[in-house]
Amino acid sequence: MARTLITSAIPYINGIKHLGNLVGSQLPADLHARFLRLSGHEVMFICATDEHGTPAELAALEAGEPVAQYCARMHKVQRELAKGFRLSFDYFGRSSSARNRDLTQHFAGRLADNGHLYEVTEQQIYSRHEQRFLPDRYVTGECPNCGYERARGDQCENCTKQLDPSDLINPRSQISGSSDLEMRRTKHLYLRQSKFIDRLDSWIDSQSDWPTLTVSIAKKWLHDGGGLQDRGITRDLVWGVPVQRGRQSWPGMEDKVFYVWFDAPIEYIAATAEWADANDRPDADWLRWWKTDEGAKDVRYVQFMGKDNVPFHTLSFPVTIMGSGEQWKLVDFIKSFNFLNYEGGQFSTSQKRGIFMDQALDTLPSDYWRWWLLSHAPEYSDSEFTWSSFVDGVNSDLANVLGNFISRVCRFCVRRFGSRVPEQGNWTDIEHDFTNRIQAHINDLASLMYAMEVRKSAQQLRKTWALGNEYIQLTAPWAAIRSDQERAATIISYALNLASIFSTISSPFIPDASARLRRSLHLENTPSWPTSIPDALRQLQPGAELSDPGVLFAKLTEKQCDQWKREFAGTR
């Protein structure tokens, strides 16, 4: 059996994610995981919260909570929202877990043993008032270049000049406003990424099928300027994985933690271990997904992420893996996404602009969002959410094409055949023709789904749904039943079987509606992807009960659309 390991970029802990975040990794990853499971693949689908780093500390501070407590609370919130959107993770872990601590320290130890780490003593801004070191961007002051007063320590937003915090005139802490700052010496560990340029280069070159976006970002980092630079992997923070060399302490590195981008991707591995722990399974059960020398040779590993995450997944994390000298699985395919915009601007977490996951679920069931977002996924360029487009898409695709097909067939059956699947007689040329067309459509759909062509898959699925209405229109059972009861029975049975097929092939996009439809057809909710459509069209037993599923998707009104436009116009 084919095995696929799927990871979605892990969402940061400091708040509720917006729909742009959702469509950029977790949702398409879920689509792929659901499709592969339907197709009989063994799937391990992993996600987690990314909990370390300065923004988490600051968010906790703002919330007036200890950071560990804040993260635990926000993890639960994000986990519940993921459930609300029906994201079918096998495990939703935490980068603050003991498993990730141990693995992160293990990797650091291996890298050190293999000579890939070195110590650098450098000057860093320290705030005496807050008793903490400040990351460059948390220092603000006057730009020496253009005089802009709120320039950040890493770059001036006004003139875009790259800065060093020591360049700033009248520097102060962005966090407290305090100007009681000084330069302090501090020692950090650097990862020799530069040593891996050639290896990374040939590895990336060997990936002939990666998306342009993924490859071009990786290549730019690899070769621009002086080429890939070494990167500091430790920070002077409290909240994070304590710096250790495996199980050993690291002299001179006490009170330091690993950089969040060092431990975050390791959490993909750690979360799989957390999955094993949570299910009382031995280590071998998670290692067989990750170690090629412990059973993972046949695993295909696919990552989903937004384009901002690409450098860490194509370069830094692979260096961690390669540098360990151990047989950890490298990624086989990276599916990266552009950004989703909102009503002519950007979705923004910091400005709280757009629609956030909790608000979305309070407004409409998850299937509505899943369908629109996936059918408009920003695959090849940024794409745009507007309420009008959302309402049009939902009404046209879900209510009119799919929902109405289900409704007209089921209700006809309930009224004319007493809520039982009628006998399916011989097919005419019409049925033979439609069966061929349906088969071709579903074959194409399967190819697109396997290739992770998200928008095209949605388009193809919609085309397949439309065949249902075309069939009903052409065969006109309401006319047939007046003169030929048996013919009408055949038509309705054929259409009901088609509805059953739809419930299966649509389930990766709209799992709830699919399950509801299966309940009305009294089918078990463990479908598998149909390979022989002629057989699938004779699945339902004549005489089997069925019930009216009701309205699967309510049409959205212009009034609602206007209201939402107003409601979500400002910031939350």
Residue in 403, 508, 511, 530 binding RNA, rule: CB under 7 A: 403
Residue 29, class by beta-carbon neighbours within 10 Å (0-12 exposed, 13-18 middle, 19+ buried)?
A: buried
Segment near RNA (CB under 7 A), from 33-41, 168-176, 382-390, 521-529? 382-390
Q: Does 407 sit near RNA (CB under 7 A)?
A: yes
| H/E element, 491 | helix 485-505
**Residue 283 or 382 having the CB closest to RNA:** 382
Q: How far is the CB of 167 from RNA (least distance, A)?
A: 13
Q: How far is the CB of 256 from RNA (least distance, A)?
A: 12
Residues 437-456 that bind RNA (CB under 7 A): 455-456
Q: Does 158 sit near RNA (CB under 7 A)?
A: no
Residue 406: name the closest of 521, 274, 485, 524 by CA.
521
Residues 123-142 that bind RNA (CB under 7 A): 124, 135-137
Residue in 443, 476, 531, 541 binding RNA, rule: CB under 7 A: 476
Distance CA(425)–CA(489), nearest Å, equals 8
Residue 6: name the closest of 321, 271, 322 by CA.
271
Residue in 232, 242, 246, 295 binding RNA, rule: CB under 7 A: 232
Residue in 160, 206, 208, 483 binding RNA, rule: CB under 7 A: 160
Residue 60 tokens read as 């906790």
Q: Is the distance from CB of 227 to CB of 200 less than 8 angstroms?
A: no
**Residue 217 or 276 having the CB closest to RNA:** 217
Residue in 50, 90, 274, 367 binding RNA, rule: CB under 7 A: 50
Please name the residues in contact with 29: beta carbons below 8 A apart, sequence gap of 6 or more.
6, 7, 8, 45, 47, 304
Residue 406 tokens read as 């289900």
Segment near RNA (CB under 7 A), from 33-41, 289-297, 391-399, 433-441? 391-399
Q: Does 469 sit near RNA (CB under 7 A)?
A: yes
Q: How far is the CB of 427 from RNA (least distance, A)?
A: 20
Q: What single DSSP character describes residue 181? A: E
Helix (H, G, I), strand (E, B) or coil at 155: strand
**Residue 221 or 289 having the CB closest to RNA:** 221
Helix (H, G, I), strand (E, B) or coil at 119: strand
Amino acid at the residue 115: G
Q: Does 184 sit near RNA (CB under 7 A)?
A: no
**Residue 466 or 544 having the CB closest to RNA:** 466
**Residue 30 or 397 having the CB closest to RNA:** 397
Q: How far is the CB of 94 from RNA (least distance, A)?
A: 13
Segment near RNA (CB under 7 A), from 141-149, 153-161, 248-256, 268-276? 153-161
Residues 7-36 that bind RNA (CB under 7 A): 12
Segment near RNA (CB under 7 A), from 67-75, 152-160, 241-249, 291-299? 152-160
Q: How far is the CB of 151 from RNA (least distance, A)?
A: 13
Residue 265 tokens read as 């991707």
Q: Is the distance from CB of 131 to CB of 203 less than 8 angstroms?
A: no
With vertex at residue 105, the alpha carbon angle to CA 102 and CA 108, rounded to the nearest 5 degrees, is 150
Distance CA(290)–CA(272), nearest Å, equals 9
Q: Does 225 sit near RNA (CB under 7 A)?
A: yes
Q: How far is the CB of 544 from RNA (least distance, A)?
A: 20
**Residue 253-272 contact track with RNA, rule CB under 7 A, x = bound:** ------xxx--x--------
Q: Does 404 sit near RNA (CB under 7 A)?
A: yes
Residue 89 tokens read as 């993770």
Q: How far is the CB of 285 from RNA (least distance, A)?
A: 28
Residue in 34, 75, 291, 307 binding RNA, rule: CB under 7 A: 307
Answer positive or negative: Cα dihedral of 424, 429, 435, 438. negative
**Residue 526-565 contact track with RNA, rule CB under 7 A, x = bound:** -------------------------xxxxx----------
Give the Cβ contact number of residue 40 at 10 Å.
12
Residues 191-220 that bind RNA (CB under 7 A): 193, 212-213, 216-217, 220
Q: Does 509 sit near RNA (CB under 7 A)?
A: no
Q: Is the distance from CB of 457 to CB of 505 less than 8 angstroms?
A: no
Q: Is the distance from CB of 20 to CB of 317 less than 8 angstroms?
A: no
* Buried-exposed string 449-475: b where 16+ CB fall within 10 A, e elsewhere: beebbbbbbbebbbebbbbbbebbeeb
Please name the residues in contact with 332: beta carbons below 8 A apart, sequence gap of 6 or more.
207, 300, 301, 302
